[in-house]
Amino acid sequence: MRTLIKNGRVIDPATNKDGIYDILIEDGIIVKVGEKLEDEADKVIDARDSWVVPGLIDIHVHLREPGFEHKETIKTGSESAAKGGFTTICTMPNTNPVIDSEYLVEYLNLKAQRDSVVNILPIGSITKGQKGEELANIGNMAKAGICGISEDGHTVMNAALYKKAMTYAKMFDLIVFAHCEDKSLVGKGVMNAGDRALSLGLAGISNDVEDVITARDILLAEKTGAKLHLCHISTEGSLRLLKRAKEDNIDVTAEICPHHFILSDEAINGFDTNFKMNPPLRSKFDVEALKQGLKDDVIEIIATDHAPHHYDEKNTTFDEAAFGIVGLETSVALTITELVDKGWITPKQMIEKMSLNPAKRLGIEKGTLKEGSVADVTIIDPKRAYKIDVNQFASKSKNSPFHNKEVKGMVTHTIVGGQVVYRVDSEI
Ligand SMILES: NC(=O)N[C@@H](CC(=O)O)C(=O)O
Ligand SMILES: [Zn+2]
Ligand SMILES: [Zn+2]
């Protein structure tokens, strides 16, 4: 089976390519990248006026299966990923049961093989049941194929336990995905602490809730040598700590989610619970600092923290509603509209942050279109304008604060291992 992608603007930071090239895929492998290829093919995709980029990788996704299938399943979540242009996703372990043993990792891998249209790399929990008391069997989960460990949704507050987990992570070459939230400082906070929280009469979450744990985790990463990845950073303080840590050659990276570089707490009216997530939308000062961090490449990764919740879990007061928003199907358009088109980052930086850098961090041979690679490819029409409509999402959940937002940039094709798993204009 041969597929030829013609006339697209190939952006492949790994090989320093940015220009009009054709790509020939044969039996799931990229066999040729060149100008005006004339090879015979079973399928020809015309990518004129589009970007052809290495399949996007989202290293922070919640699929909710097993246990919360009313929010999302492996099947619907993977379809949502494909529609968003992602060919590989890392899945968080805060399911029910929590992914804390090799048996559950094996179950996930089997289920993914059967139901998923994209590559899934599971993340195991740090403690059993994410209860923060006893370590999960990290070594056995490593053998079963996890890419990292995380207590996402919570922080392991016991520093001694966490340090031990980091030592294991180092031993098994796993990434520690850190959710930085000090439990003793957060109280009953539901949104950023500041004027808006005061005027709405809602309990605030101060920046130090995040910064204190960011600092602790960086120090423990330095001590243990573990690879630390800071999830969903939202504060100027985290950014400052990250920058210093990198200058000190500590093995740390960070991701940012589109909502944290686009929206501030001023977008919150107290009624629309789709603006409630953890960490919360911060001040304009934080948002501006984080955009600069993206521009300067201190923040190397954009992830979605796709956190689907059922309508009923959001259709309540701001205090009561679940934390989290969906993100897989809006990330490309939001990044193009808010960062690329506004001159904060170049298209090349966008592809680095959404494909090459996550691949490098995970240590996987993806994130490139170089000849010989597995054909995970995303095609994006960067000029195509539309209004985000949550009712069009493939995800089971619709909890997005970006409903009705005018954006530019549409994923037109998602190709996984040479197979077109999503095409915009018709069902496959
Ligand atoms: N981000 C969120 O607000 N929620 C996430 C948990 C998390 O990522 O911490 C969830 O699982 O719903
Ligand atoms: Zn988290
Ligand atoms: Zn998360």
Q: What is the pLDDT along the chain (428 residues), one digit of tens a residue?
A: 999 999 999 999 999 999 999 999 999 999 999 999 999 999 999 999 999 999 999 999 999 999 999 999 999 999 999 999 999 999 999 999 999 999 999 999 999 999 999 999 999 999 999 999 999 999 999 999 999 999 999 999 999 999 999 999 999 999 999 999 999 999 999 999 999 999 999 999 999 999 999 999 999 999 999 999 999 999 999 999 999 999 999 999 999 999 999 999 999 999 999 999 999 999 999 999 999 999 999 999 999 999 999 999 999 999 999 999 999 999 999 999 999 999 999 999 999 999 999 999 999 999 999 999 999 999 999 999 999 999 999 999 999 999 999 999 999 999 999 999 999 986 44
Ligand 1 pocket, residue 376 CB under 6 Å: no
Report the distance separating Cα 366 and Cα 356, nearest Å.
Answer: 7
Report the distance separating Cα 399 and Cα 38, nearest Å.
Answer: 46
Q: Provide the ipTM.
A: 0.99
Cis peptide before 279 (omega within 30 of 0): yes
Q: Is 232 annotated as a binding residue?
A: yes
What is the number of alpha carbons within 13 Å of residue 385 lying toward its C-beta?
2
241 membership: H or E segment, kind and range: helix 236-247
Neighbours of 281 (CB within 10 A): 23
The DSSP secondary structure of 95-119, one letter per residue, reads SSS-S-SHHHHHHHHHHHHHH-SSE
- DSSP H helices, 116-158, are 138-144
User: Where are the extended beta strands (E) located within 242-286?
Assistant: 252-256
Report the distance separating Cα 428 and Cα 415, nearest Å.
Answer: 12
Report the distance separating Cα 379 and Cα 396, nearest Å.
Answer: 24
Ligand 1 pocket, residue 259 CB under 6 Å: no
Q: Is 27 annotated as a binding residue?
A: no
Residue type for position 356: L
305 in catalytic set:
yes
Ligand 1 pocket, residue 314 CB under 6 Å: no
Ligand 1 pocket, residue 119 CB under 6 Å: no
Place of tokens 């990248």: 33
> 236-247 and 284-295 are packed helices; what angle lies between their axes, rounded to 10 degrees?
30
Residue with the smallest CA separation from ligand 1 atom 2 is: 324
CA of 60 to the centre of ligand 3 (A): 6
Q: Domains in the chain and their CATH numbers?
A: 2-51+374-395+405-423 (2.30.40.10), 54-373 (3.20.20.140)
CA of 231 to the centre of ligand 2 (A): 6
Q: Is 305 annotated as a binding residue?
A: yes
Catalytic member of 251, 305, 376, 381: 305
Query: Which among 154, 87, 2, 156 is positioned nearest to 377, based on CA atoms?
Result: 87
